[in-house]
Structure 1
Protein backbone atom coordinates (compact mmCIF):
# COMPACT_ATOMS: atom_id res chain seq x y z
CA UNK A 1 0.00 0.00 0.00
CA UNK A 2 1.23 3.46 -0.79
CA UNK A 3 0.13 6.55 1.06
CA UNK A 4 -1.59 9.54 -0.51
CA UNK A 5 1.52 11.66 0.01
CA UNK A 6 3.81 9.27 -1.82
CA UNK A 7 1.31 9.00 -4.70
CA UNK A 8 1.13 12.80 -4.87
CA UNK A 9 4.94 13.04 -4.90
CA UNK A 10 5.14 10.41 -7.62
CA UNK A 11 2.57 12.26 -9.71
CA UNK A 12 4.38 15.55 -9.20
CA UNK A 13 7.77 14.10 -10.09
CA UNK A 14 6.44 12.32 -13.17
CA UNK A 15 4.74 15.49 -14.41
CA UNK A 16 7.87 17.57 -13.83
CA UNK A 17 10.01 14.99 -15.64
CA UNK A 18 7.83 15.27 -18.72
CA UNK A 19 8.12 19.06 -18.87
CA UNK A 20 10.78 20.38 -21.18
CA UNK A 21 11.36 23.55 -19.11
CA UNK A 22 13.44 23.45 -15.92
CA UNK A 23 11.46 24.06 -12.74
CA UNK A 24 12.74 26.77 -10.42
CA UNK A 25 11.70 25.82 -6.89
CA UNK A 26 13.27 28.80 -5.16
CA UNK A 27 10.70 31.31 -3.87
CA UNK A 28 10.75 34.82 -5.31
CA UNK A 29 12.74 37.33 -3.24
CA UNK A 30 10.77 39.24 -0.64
CA UNK A 31 10.17 42.91 -1.19
CA UNK A 32 12.03 45.24 1.11
CA UNK A 33 9.84 46.97 3.66
CA UNK A 34 9.07 50.59 2.94
CA UNK A 35 10.27 53.28 5.29
CA UNK A 36 8.33 53.66 8.50
CA UNK A 37 5.28 55.87 8.42
CA UNK A 38 5.92 59.38 9.69
CA UNK A 39 4.88 60.17 13.23
CA UNK A 40 1.54 61.81 13.96
CA UNK A 41 3.12 65.24 14.19
CA UNK A 42 5.05 64.70 10.95
CA UNK A 43 1.94 63.50 9.12
CA UNK A 44 -0.02 66.48 10.34
CA UNK A 45 2.71 68.88 9.29
CA UNK A 46 3.04 67.18 5.93
CA UNK A 47 -0.69 67.42 5.24
CA UNK A 48 -0.98 71.09 6.13
CA UNK A 49 1.07 74.24 5.83
CA UNK A 50 0.20 75.22 9.41
CA UNK A 51 2.23 74.09 12.39
CA UNK A 52 -0.32 71.66 13.88
CA UNK A 53 1.77 71.11 17.03
CA UNK A 54 0.53 74.52 18.20
CA UNK A 55 -3.03 73.23 17.68
CA UNK A 56 -2.51 70.21 19.93
CA UNK A 57 -3.32 70.44 23.63
CA UNK A 58 -2.50 67.75 26.18
CA UNK A 59 -5.27 66.72 28.57
CA UNK A 60 -3.46 63.83 30.28
CA UNK A 61 -0.46 61.64 29.63
CA UNK A 62 -1.73 60.12 26.36
CA UNK A 63 -4.92 62.11 25.68
CA UNK A 64 -4.89 65.22 23.49
CA UNK A 65 -7.22 67.75 21.89
CA UNK A 66 -6.21 68.59 18.34
CA UNK A 67 -7.77 71.37 16.26
CA UNK A 68 -7.33 70.51 12.60
CA UNK A 69 -8.85 70.71 9.17
CA UNK A 70 -10.41 67.60 7.66
CA UNK A 71 -11.97 67.64 4.20
CA UNK A 72 -12.16 71.40 4.27
CA UNK A 73 -13.87 71.60 7.68
CA UNK A 74 -12.37 72.60 11.02
CA UNK A 75 -12.62 69.78 13.57
CA UNK A 76 -11.92 69.49 17.29
CA UNK A 77 -10.47 66.02 17.82
CA UNK A 78 -10.32 64.60 21.36
CA UNK A 79 -8.35 61.38 21.18
CA UNK A 80 -6.20 58.88 23.05
CA UNK A 81 -2.77 58.35 21.56
CA UNK A 82 -0.37 55.42 21.81
CA UNK A 83 3.35 54.97 21.36
CA UNK A 84 4.71 52.71 18.62
CA UNK A 85 8.28 52.58 17.32
CA UNK A 86 9.14 55.70 19.30
CA UNK A 87 6.34 57.72 17.67
CA UNK A 88 3.11 58.93 19.26
CA UNK A 89 0.18 57.95 17.05
CA UNK A 90 -3.57 58.62 17.27
CA UNK A 91 -5.63 55.68 18.47
CA UNK A 92 -9.16 54.56 17.65
CA UNK A 93 -10.58 55.84 20.93
CA UNK A 94 -11.71 59.38 20.45
CA UNK A 95 -14.21 61.75 18.92
CA UNK A 96 -14.05 64.48 16.31
CA UNK A 97 -16.48 67.35 16.71
CA UNK A 98 -17.39 69.70 13.90
CA UNK A 99 -17.84 73.39 14.78
CA UNK A 100 -21.60 73.02 15.33
CA UNK A 101 -21.05 70.18 17.82
CA UNK A 102 -18.14 71.98 19.48
CA UNK A 103 -20.21 75.14 19.99
CA UNK A 104 -23.12 73.09 21.37
CA UNK A 105 -20.74 71.49 23.88
CA UNK A 106 -19.31 74.86 24.90
CA UNK A 107 -22.80 76.28 25.49
CA UNK A 108 -23.68 73.30 27.71
CA UNK A 109 -20.56 73.43 29.91
CA UNK A 110 -22.41 75.07 32.84
CA UNK A 111 -25.16 72.41 32.70
CA UNK A 112 -22.57 69.64 32.54
CA UNK A 113 -20.68 71.13 35.51
CA UNK A 114 -23.96 71.19 37.51
CA UNK A 115 -24.63 67.54 36.64
CA UNK A 116 -21.10 66.63 37.78
CA UNK A 117 -21.66 68.34 41.16
CA UNK A 118 -24.62 66.02 41.80
CA UNK A 119 -22.23 63.09 42.03
Structure 2
Protein backbone atom coordinates (compact mmCIF):
# COMPACT_ATOMS: atom_id res chain seq x y z
CA UNK A 1 0.00 0.00 0.00
CA UNK A 2 1.78 3.10 -1.16
CA UNK A 3 -0.92 5.60 -0.27
CA UNK A 4 -0.88 7.17 -3.73
CA UNK A 5 -2.87 4.59 -5.70
CA UNK A 6 -5.70 7.01 -6.51
CA UNK A 7 -5.94 10.16 -4.41
CA UNK A 8 -9.29 11.11 -5.95
CA UNK A 9 -11.23 8.09 -4.72
CA UNK A 10 -11.72 7.46 -0.99
CA UNK A 11 -10.95 4.03 0.34
CA UNK A 12 -13.86 2.91 2.47
CA UNK A 13 -12.99 0.85 5.49
CA UNK A 14 -15.46 -0.49 8.02
CA UNK A 15 -13.93 -1.17 11.40
CA UNK A 16 -15.00 -4.72 12.26
CA UNK A 17 -14.67 -4.10 16.01
CA UNK A 18 -17.60 -1.71 16.46
CA UNK A 19 -19.01 -1.43 12.93
CA UNK A 20 -17.90 2.22 12.66
CA UNK A 21 -17.57 3.64 9.15
CA UNK A 22 -14.20 5.21 8.41
CA UNK A 23 -13.44 6.89 5.10
CA UNK A 24 -9.76 7.07 4.17
CA UNK A 25 -8.17 9.30 1.55
CA UNK A 26 -4.54 8.52 0.61
CA UNK A 27 -2.45 11.70 0.43
CA UNK A 28 1.12 10.36 0.38
CA UNK A 29 3.43 7.47 1.11
CA UNK A 30 1.42 5.62 3.79
CA UNK A 31 -0.25 8.87 4.89
CA UNK A 32 -4.05 9.06 5.00
CA UNK A 33 -6.78 11.52 5.92
CA UNK A 34 -9.43 9.54 7.76
CA UNK A 35 -12.93 10.77 8.55
CA UNK A 36 -14.84 8.82 11.16
CA UNK A 37 -15.96 8.72 14.78
CA UNK A 38 -13.95 8.34 17.97
CA UNK A 39 -15.59 8.09 21.39
CA UNK A 40 -18.90 9.00 19.75
CA UNK A 41 -17.62 12.23 18.19
CA UNK A 42 -16.83 13.10 14.57
CA UNK A 43 -13.10 13.36 13.94
CA UNK A 44 -10.79 13.99 11.00
CA UNK A 45 -7.33 12.43 11.33
CA UNK A 46 -4.20 12.93 9.29
CA UNK A 47 -1.93 10.03 10.13
CA UNK A 48 1.04 8.06 8.88
CA UNK A 49 0.52 4.29 8.77
CA UNK A 50 3.07 1.50 8.97
CA UNK A 51 3.17 -2.15 8.01
CA UNK A 52 3.04 -4.55 10.96
CA UNK A 53 6.00 -6.95 10.95
CA UNK A 54 7.32 -6.13 7.44
CA UNK A 55 10.33 -8.36 8.09
CA UNK A 56 8.16 -11.49 8.42
CA UNK A 57 8.22 -13.83 5.46
CA UNK A 58 4.88 -14.08 3.64
CA UNK A 59 4.48 -17.87 3.78
CA UNK A 60 1.01 -17.74 2.18
CA UNK A 61 2.05 -15.96 -1.01
CA UNK A 62 2.34 -12.33 -1.96
CA UNK A 63 -1.35 -11.71 -2.61
CA UNK A 64 -3.26 -14.28 -0.58
CA UNK A 65 -2.72 -12.68 2.85
CA UNK A 66 -2.38 -8.88 2.85
CA UNK A 67 0.02 -7.44 5.39
CA UNK A 68 -1.72 -5.53 8.14
CA UNK A 69 -1.28 -1.75 8.02
CA UNK A 70 -1.65 0.06 11.34
CA UNK A 71 -1.90 3.74 12.33
CA UNK A 72 1.34 5.16 13.66
CA UNK A 73 2.09 7.76 16.32
CA UNK A 74 2.74 10.50 13.76
CA UNK A 75 -0.45 12.38 13.09
CA UNK A 76 -3.11 14.74 14.31
CA UNK A 77 -6.81 14.44 15.10
CA UNK A 78 -9.12 17.39 14.45
CA UNK A 79 -12.72 17.99 15.42
CA UNK A 80 -15.09 19.51 12.83
CA UNK A 81 -14.63 23.05 14.20
CA UNK A 82 -10.83 22.79 13.90
CA UNK A 83 -11.20 21.52 10.32
CA UNK A 84 -13.45 24.50 9.50
CA UNK A 85 -10.80 26.82 10.93
CA UNK A 86 -8.19 25.22 8.65
CA UNK A 87 -10.51 25.72 5.67
CA UNK A 88 -10.93 29.39 6.67
CA UNK A 89 -7.18 30.09 6.78
CA UNK A 90 -6.22 27.79 3.88
CA UNK A 91 -5.78 30.64 1.40
CA UNK A 92 -3.45 32.49 3.76
CA UNK A 93 -1.51 29.31 4.47
CA UNK A 94 -1.14 28.82 0.71
CA UNK A 95 0.31 32.31 0.31
CA UNK A 96 2.74 31.71 3.19
CA UNK A 97 3.75 28.35 1.70
CA UNK A 98 4.46 29.94 -1.68
CA UNK A 99 6.63 32.59 0.03
CA UNK A 100 8.62 29.85 1.76
CA UNK A 101 8.88 27.65 -1.36
CA UNK A 102 10.02 30.55 -3.52
CA UNK A 103 12.32 31.72 -0.70
CA UNK A 104 11.14 35.29 -1.16
CA UNK A 105 12.49 38.00 1.07
CA UNK A 106 9.89 40.35 2.50
CA UNK A 107 9.90 42.81 5.31
CA UNK A 108 7.93 41.34 8.18
CA UNK A 109 5.28 44.07 7.87
CA UNK A 110 4.90 43.47 4.10
CA UNK A 111 4.53 39.74 4.67
CA UNK A 112 1.91 40.27 7.37
CA UNK A 113 -0.04 42.52 4.99
CA UNK A 114 0.21 39.99 2.15
CA UNK A 115 -0.99 37.09 4.33
CA UNK A 116 -3.68 39.12 6.13
CA UNK A 117 -5.29 40.43 2.94
CA UNK A 118 -8.36 38.62 1.55
Q: Same fold (TM over 0.5)?
A: yes
After TM superposition, what 4+ stretches of structure 1 lie above 3 angstroms from structure 2? none
**In the alignment, which of 41, 48, 70 is matched to residue 19 of structure 2?**
48
Instruction: Please identify which structure carries the higher helix content.
Output: 1
For this pair of structures, how many residues does the alignment match?
75
In 2, the alpha carbon distance for the partners of 1:90 and 1:67 equals 14
TM-score, normalised with respect to structure 2: 0.58
Q: Which residue number in structure 2 is paired with residue 89 of structure 1?
A: 70
Q: Which runs of 5+ in 1 are unaligned?
A: 1-40
Structure richer in strand, relative to its length: 2
Indicate the SS of the match to 1:66: strand
Q: TM-score, normalised by structure 1?
A: 0.58
For the residues of structure 1 that align with 2:45 and 2:16, how far apart are their CA atoms? 16
Larger Rg: 1
* TM-superposed deviation, 1:49: 4.5
- How far the C-alpha of 1:61 sits from its partner, in A, is 1.8
Deviation track 1:1-31 (CA, whole Å, cap 9, x = no partner) reads: xxxxxxxxxxxxxxxxxxxxxxxxxxxxxxx
Runs of at least 5 residues in structure 2 that lack an aligned partner in the other structure: 1-12, 54-66, 101-118
